Amino acid sequence: MQLDNPALTAIYFASITAIVSVITNLVITIISNIFQNSREKRSEIQDIYAGCIKSIATVSTLSGATESNMDNIEQSLVEAKKYFALLLIRTKNKSQIKQMEEEIYLFITGQYTQLLEKVSIEGLQPSEKYKYLENIQQKVVLSAADIMLKRIIKIAPQDKRLSL
């Protein structure tokens, strides 16, 4: 193609510039969307970990329970179970939470005694403050919650999905 006519040359270069501009904008949009999705996933995982920790910490805080606190403790346990379930669901690569997967399952399903037996084999013990509770069921639930708080605080910083 000969570009002897200045008008044709201008149209040709304007067309090339427009095509390059469209392609550049498309690439920038794709990269921006990829990073935005990554930020949203990281934020979602952070929210799940924060929910786990907040709910379990609430249970621990209310452990000097009077009967009036029992409703709040039960509500916090339900919230904690929800967040732990979300953690299992949102984790496609199970190796990230493999070491805690069975414990999460036992906690979610309310198998607190089995959870305590499993972690005691590994040498992990609940806080001393629960040893003196008279209500055995309350003691087991609060001890299991304490163990899960320790585990989630230990495992969260190791989750690669939270790093930049």
Q: Is 24 within the bounds of a domain?
A: no
Domain range spanning residue 77? 42-162
pLDDT at 69: 75
* Residue labelled with tokens 């510039």: 17
Structural contact between residues 97 and 157, judged by C-beta atoms closer than 8 angstroms? no
Classified as helix, coil or strand, 134 is: coil
Q: Is 17 within the bounds of a domain?
A: no
Q: Is 5 within the bounds of a domain?
A: no
Q: Is 138 within the bounds of a domain?
A: yes
pLDDT at 3: 62
Per-residue pLDDT of the chain (164 residues; tens, 9 = 90+): 566 778 778 888 899 999 999 999 999 999 999 999 989 988 998 999 999 999 998 888 887 656 677 788 888 899 999 999 988 888 766 666 777 888 889 999 999 999 999 988 888 888 888 777 777 888 888 889 999 998 888 888 877 777 75
pLDDT at 95: 67
Q: Is 103 within the bounds of a domain?
A: yes
- In 3D space, the residue among 61, 55, 106 whose CA is nearest the CA of residue 79 turns out to be 55
For 111, phi and psi rounded to 5 degrees?
Answer: -90, 65
pLDDT at 5: 78
Report the number of distinct structural domains present in the chain.
1
pLDDT at 94: 67
Structural contact between residues 78 and 102, judged by C-beta atoms closer than 8 angstroms? no
Alpha-helical segments (H) within the chain: 6-61, 70-90, 98-108, 112-121, 136-155
Q: Is 105 within the bounds of a domain?
A: yes
42 CB contacts (<8 Å, ≥6 apart)?
161, 162
Q: Is 155 within the bounds of a domain?
A: yes
